[in-house]
Amino acid sequence: MAKQSDIELISEIRTTITRLVKKLRKHTVTGMALSLTERSVLGLLNEEKEMLPNELATREKITNQSMSQILNHLDELGYILRRISKEDKRKSLITLSAKGTAAINQLRNEKDTWLYEAVINSCTAEEISILKKALAPLKKLVDFEDD
């Protein structure tokens, strides 16, 4: 059974990370027209280069129908390209367009710029060192899969 102090620590970590993510979103003008899932899909496509809609839905843990709506919106914005699979003509492959790549780069730049300014202007050198050390356990949390 978890100790009360452990539960309080976990709650504080969750709350702090959630607030930081909200602040980062607030300081990205480029992404204001995009939902969190739409931003995440752009990031996945940037990493994977090309994916099927059902692969994107699985990775985002949403239905194929919801992914279809997201892809339609990203297509309307000119952020993605669709091409028919050579192996299976019934399937379309999704990639980032040049405009989508530019948008994801701009989003990241806006977030990085804001976070850099926040860290430099609010943290001591010792605190920056602590942040560097905290990256490894935070990455483990991000990669943790319980299903």
Global pTM value: 0.73
Per DSSP, the residues of 79-146 read: -EEEEE-SS-TT-EEEEE-HHHHHHHHHHHHHHHHHHHHHHHHH--HHHHHHHHHHHHHHHHHHH---
Q: What mean pLDDT, rounded, does the chain reach? A: 91
- Give the pLDDT score at 31: 64
- Give the pLDDT score at 147: 61
> pLDDT (tens digit, 9 = 90+) per residue, 55-112?
999 999 999 999 999 999 999 999 999 999 888 888 899 999 999 999 999 988 999 9
> pLDDT (tens digit, 9 = 90+) per residue, 35-59?
889 999 999 999 999 999 999 999 9
Helices (H) and strands (E) in the chain, counts: 6, 2
Domains and CATH numbers, the chain: 25-143 (1.10.10.10)
